[in-house]
Amino acid sequence: MGSHLSLQRSGRPVERRSGAAARGLAVVLLAASLLASGVPAAAEEALSPVELGETPLFERPSPLGSISYTAGRGLRVGDTGLTLGGYANLTVGRPEGGPGELELQDVSLFAIWDPLPRLHFFSEIEWADVFEANDKGDAGSPDERLTVERLYADVTVNDLVNVRTGIFLTPVGRWNVIHAPPLHWTTEQPLVTELPFDPNTTGVMLFGSVFPERGVLRYSVWDQLADPVEGDPEFDPADHSVGARLEYTDDLGWSIGATYLAARREGDWRHLGGADLLWHLGRLELMGELAVEDGAGDEQWGAYLQSVFQLTSRTYLVGRFEHYDFADPEDGRVNLITLGVAFRPLPAVVLKAEYLIADRSAPEAEAGIHASFATLF
């Protein structure tokens, strides 16, 4: 992927480590599967790191109607159809051989407006890399930025036909469209969900659902029409891109998806193909993604498989194995194992801690301890 230098971050010298860790994760995944094997394969409520509140924490009458706040669902402004909310994410970590780090990574604000039954507006303004400090005494916000993550309007014709215009999350796989850290199981993000494609698209998308005899089949087709208003500086947006996605969700608790994305960068077209799955079995959740992107004489690809097991009503064990082959041959490849725990002290709050094991030291995947405090509000 020589034409898109921003995706080819230079790695440090390779450090080979034992393959026993990879075999260990396989045992973890197998054990979790066996623990859940006694659970009937029926539709189950999806596991989630946080729970959205159902009862307002406060409610006040006003000339606009009742103003109420529900944890995780935001502030509802009377009968205006306007809801305000967002999330915050504080991370701490100690990479192997590096200093301890603390970072207020994200503070995002949502504004959701539904003025008519068939018209929906959504905006997300993200304040990223707000503050960081380490145990060497360094502190500041050198990478601080304010970005427009999402800003779009949806028009609904019926279940089959919906039109979205504006800035929206690129619907490649599952992790990217979940987006908010309180809804992810780990502090660190799998490489395949952030390196081979732009996280946002500015353009138009046609999407909808059909309902066969069992389950739901969803589709989306999109076209990039412009550059983002404010984008992620870690990515150089494609000059133009088009994509399509199909996803089938069965009533028995499993879902599979497939994505195709073509992006033109500096005159060269690059093509990405992806597949993903999500499977709920009682207290066990399995999620995985695979993506291959090539063009202009080089290729990058990656995959991960993640297992989540509900230990108690508030505690979850997480295991993930991932592999990534970088576009630049000098960057080589990396295998990663993440072993962690997620704990929900309050419905809309999740504490996460994990240890990341890597067979190679690289800035994209820092082995060591990672933890976070994330909340929806």
Encode pLDDT of 151-170 as tens digits.
999 999 999 999 999 999 99
How far, in Å, CA of 331 to CA of 9, rounded?
A: 8
Angstrom distances, CA of residue 129 to CA of 126, 140, 195, 350: 10, 10, 19, 20
End-to-end CA distance of the chain: 39
How much is the pTM?
0.86
Angstrom distances, CA of residue 312 to CA of 306, 309, 341, 349, 352: 19, 9, 11, 16, 15
Backbone φ and ψ of 41, nearest 5° = -80, 70
**What string of DSSP letters covers 178-191?**
H--GGGSS-SSPPG
Encode pLDDT of 339-350 as tens digits.
999 999 999 999
Q: Which two tokens stand for residue 314?
A: 């508030």
How far, in Å, CA of 342 to CA of 125, rounded?
A: 26
Smallest Cα–Cα separation from 128: which of 95, 105, 99?
Answer: 105
As assigned by CATH, the class of the 5-376 domain is: mainly beta
Q: Which two tokens stand for residue 76?
A: 């509802």
Residue 159: what pLDDT? Answer: 97
Encode pLDDT of 202-259 as tens digits.
999 999 999 999 999 999 999 999 876 655 566 678 999 999 999 999 999 999 999 9
